[in-house]
């Protein structure tokens, strides 16, 4: 007879013990699988955070470029104003003041 701590173990108890061991191993496998999924989700979240940071950097770079374009447009507007002023001076000096 099979004994466990001095007590006789019947076939039913032995089957229950084997079933318990199998169940615990199955639960361990499920916990490991869940842990892997959680790690995968954490990696995905980390990737998303990195992508958002990258997008933020790109938006900042675009804002800087737009600022530079605004400065260039303002400079061109100033240049156009200067050229118009010179043209008006030429027109006045040549007597074409009212022609325009």
Q: Exposed (0-12), middle (13-18) or buried (19+): which is 9, by Cβ within 10 Å?
A: middle
Q: Are 16 and 22 in contact (CB under 8 A)?
A: no
Mean local confidence (pLDDT), 74-98? 85
Over residues 40-69, the pLDDT tens digits come to 999 999 999 999 999 999 999 999 999 999
97 phi/psi in degrees, rounded to 5: -60, -45
Token reading at 90: 């030429």
- 5 phi and psi, to 5 degrees? 55, 40
Phi, psi of 50 (to 5 degrees): -65, -40
Residue 49 confidence (pLDDT):
92
Does the pTM of the predicted model rise above 0.85? no
- pLDDT band at residue 2 using 50, 70 and 90 as cut-offs: low
Give residue 17's pLDDT.
82
- Strands 3-4 and 7-8, sheet pairing: antiparallel
Q: Which two tokens stand for residue 46?
A: 């980390």
């Amino acid at each position: 007879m099979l004994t466990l701590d001095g007590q006789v173990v019947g076939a039913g108890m032995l089957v229950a013990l084997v079933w318990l061991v199998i169940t615990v191993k199955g639960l361990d496998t499920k916990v490991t699988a869940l842990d892997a999924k959680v790690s995968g989700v954490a990696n995905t979240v980390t990737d998303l955070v990195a992508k958002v940071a990258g997008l933020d950097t790109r938006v900042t770079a675009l804002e800087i470029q737009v600022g530079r374009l605004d400065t260039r447009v303002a400079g061109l507007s100033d240049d156009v104003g200067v050229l118009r002023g010179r043209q008006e001076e030429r027109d006045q000096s040549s007597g074409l003041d009212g022609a325009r």
